[in-house]
Amino acid sequence: HMGESREIRIKEFHKFNDQIVIGLREGSYLQTQENNIILKGLNTARVFKKNCDPLEIEPEFNLIKLLN
């Protein structure tokens, strides 16, 4: 990746893609159940949407809120 930060690589990805990118920290995971996607673990995560500033989310946040 030639010294580029993750955010720069994600911005480059978003030049050609509209998908949301979730940056999980070590020990974190996403739990899917019924119509929910919940951030689990002790750490926050970062959500990257095209043409938006990154959003920091707390554990137990339901990511479905960002998809609707």
Domain definitions of the chain by residue range: 6-67
Measured CA to CA, the distance from residue 57 to residue 39 in angstroms comes to: 8
Contact 40, 52 (CB under 8 A): no
* pLDDT per residue as tens digits for the range 32-67: 999 999 999 999 999 999 999 999 999 999 999 988
State the pLDDT at residue 60: 98
pTM: 0.85
pLDDT at 6: 86
Residue 2, pLDDT score: 59
Mean pLDDT across 7-36: 95
- Phi, psi torsion values for 65, nearest 5 degrees: -60, -30
Confidence of residue 11 (pLDDT cuts 50, 70, 90): very high
For residue 53, give the 3-state DSSP assignment. Answer: coil
